[in-house]
Amino acid sequence: MIQQTFQVKGMHCASCSSIITKKLQKLPGIESCDVNFATEKANISFDDTKVTTKDMNNEINKLGYQLSSDPHAEHNMSDMKSSSDKMMANGEDHAQHLGLNLSKDEKLEELEKLRVKVDFGIPLSLLVFAFMMWDIGSNIFPNNIPEFPIPMPLFNTISFIISTIFMFWIGRPYLVALIRFIKYRVANMDSLVGIGTFTAYLYSSTVLLFPGIGNYFALPQYLYFDVAIVVIGFITLGKYLEARSKLKTGEAIEKLLNLQAKTALVVREGKEIEVPISEVVVGDIIRVKPGGKVPVDGVIISGTTSIDESMINGEPVPNDKKSEDFVIGSTMNKQGSFLFKASKVGSDTMLAQIVRMVEESQGSKAEIQNLADKVSSVFIPSVLVIAVVTFLLWISLGTYLIGFSTAFSYALLSFVGILVIACPCALGLATPTAIIVGVGKGAEHGILIKNAQSLEKLHKINMIVLDKTGTLTHGKPTVTDIISLDSSITEEEILQLSASLENNSQHPLATAVVAKSKDQKINIQEVSSFSEEEGVGVKGIIKNSHVEIRKPASSETHLSEIAKLQGQGKTVIIVIKNEKVIGLLAISDTIKPGVQQTIEKLHKLGIRTAMITGDNQKAAEHIAKQVGIDTVKAEILPQDKSNIIKELQKEGRKVAMVGDGINDAPALTQADVGIAMATGTDIAIESSDITLLSGDLSKIPQAIKLSRSTIRTVKQNLFWAFIYNIIGIPLAAGLFYPIFGIFLNPIFAGLAMGLSSVSVVSNSLLLKRLKL
């Protein structure tokens, strides 16, 4: 089974995605098909032994749609890596394998064609609209508004010529859609506009060119060329504004891609050679100079520097880097020159993976979209039925009440108005445009959201469970306290003696002591007669003094200093010199900076917090008390973490789990939303719904705020889209005319239809201004 993403050409409204989905799902070998109108992409799972891309195109080409391969997204589900390798073998850069540039070029070309039509059509539409309002006004207020200056026969002839240009050039897509509707009985939004405007044009042309027919059937002499002109003009303007707005929704990915380095300074045979980024291979040694971009991912082998990684994690402060530190492709080198070894290139780099994940997320569907999709799928047929029934009612009942000529005018205007104002586009754009902007906004701030469902679920979260080690804390032992018990010996001397002795040990606590001495730039002294007793401590001779470091004996744990430190969950070791206890070292996993402020922000958002850890109860409670966490679950085995999540869910809580280790994966999967730290293991990130790129917990409140704002925007969009159609269709049908004397001219219907989609996309774009 193959899963492939295709670019879809020819979609003009939400009903188009429904048509394509229905047609393709009927083909043998198609397992699933998800067509997204906003991104103009189709994610299709299919058996390539039963159906091919050619078969799919044969099914939908006749309806005006076409699938074209989106190479970056194509992958065999059993071997994703091989596809990435193939793409690199072809020497494509990130932007090309992501299919973004080609897609955007095509969209810009389409936008330019629309702009030419708008530049020609809108001035004429406005002029005709003004003449129409003048004519109506002079008939209603003959004493206040002068009579229309152009003789009506001449005006009708001019209108006929202009409407013919509009109908067969600017309105050509609507005529093509009308022909396809007649031929294949498949209708979309363009079909409705085509039926409506061509009906007005055909009727008016018949009455103008063959007046005898109009007289024979006693048809009204008023012509509706202005309706065809202005409706086509306004709808084309709406499509132009919508297309322009939709281009802006994908700017987050484009910004990332535009930051990519184009070349790399590779060291080969002792010489530094500048090569295109596509020629860099794993294992290459690369030089990066001050002010240059890091071309690919890798590990520094010599030199120190500071690197601006804001494009990845959203943090403005550059990160200091030294030998053996990891560097990310496309980030900016600020200061020093350094050499690094390429470890990931092409589609394997972090940037490529981020872009791929963001694109997949933007193309996914939220559950809230299902209602809009169901409505859109039956919308067009329903509107056609309503339009025909309304026309017949006006002809039958209207003729009896107001005479045939007047009734026919209202019947025709209602028929055209309903077809023009009915707009599934606003419904179809309501959810995906907000999701696209929301996911892009998250990516800009180092918050990677796996799919739309994750973003939707996150806004409902009322409980966040955090793993302690590596999430709340740094995940490595650190010397936190140095206490001298001898007034003649300083804390610095105690650390020097301890580090000198521990430098000969491989124990994790010994590593913490040595690291502390390096931080304080304390010199290591020579040790002789070193010995280590496993589970007890180490001893040796330093400058003729016998020095020993060990854990406290049971008889010593009652000492106030030791008891106090152990009460805080810290590991205490005793430093002895010449058989006299001279000091204590306390070692603990330290809390990451900003954790307390993050917990406070979560509380302000109405979210309770819990900590889950395998550590002892005292250590866990001490950490929780320091940062303000509500509930502590300590001494929990890795396999039991997911059970804790289940228990909280049974209590009716919507739970998010935050973790970074392999042992967190089951809990991350069990939670309603799994949040992984990108500094953690690959399996934890794979199991999560949201990834925090910088491993910064302060991004959790940001993610929740983003989720709530995005879903609020989706609901606003859906509300206005539904209200627009619920009010607009009856208004166009003339339902309010007998009661209030209100009747909607198709011209205003066309303007409203065009603006409805633009308003939805514009509302979604407001998310870009959200301050996280």
Length of the chain: 772
Nearest-10 Cα torsion for 706, 712, 713, 717: 160
Indicate the pairing of strand 571-577 with strand 545-550. Answer: antiparallel
Is residue 250 within 8 A of residue 362, CB to CB? The reply is yes
Going 136 to 141 to 147 to 153, the CA torsion angle's sign is: positive
Identity of the residue numbered 64: G
| Nearest-5° Cα angle at 14, 11 to 19 | 70
- Return d(Cα 447, Cα 688) in angstroms, integer: 12
DSSP-derived 3-state class of residue 319: strand
Look up residue 38 and give its DSSP letter: T
Active-site residue among 70, 190, 467, 589?
A: 467
Nearest-10 Cα torsion for 325, 329, 331, 336: 50
The DSSP H or E segment spanning 713 is helix 699-733
Count of beta carbons in the 10 Å neighbourhood of residue 594: 13
- Return d(Cα 481, Cα 186) in angstroms, integer: 76
The tokens for 257 are 């891609």
Going 240 to 245 to 251 to 253, the CA torsion angle's sign is: negative
The verdict on whether 348 is a catalytic residue reads no
Task: Give residues with Cβ within 8 angstroms of 488, minimum separation 6.
Answer: none
Residues 759-769 as b or e (16 or more Cβ within 10 Å = b): bbbebbbebee
For residue 67, give the nearest of 33, 29, 109 by alpha carbon: 33
- Return d(Cα 586, Cα 451) in angstroms, integer: 44
- Return d(Cα 9, Cα 6) in angstroms, integer: 9
Strands (E), 157-281: 263-268, 271-276
Indicate the pairing of strand 285-288 with strand 463-467. Answer: unpaired
Look up residue 148 and give its DSSP letter: P
Question: What residues act catalytically?
Answer: 467
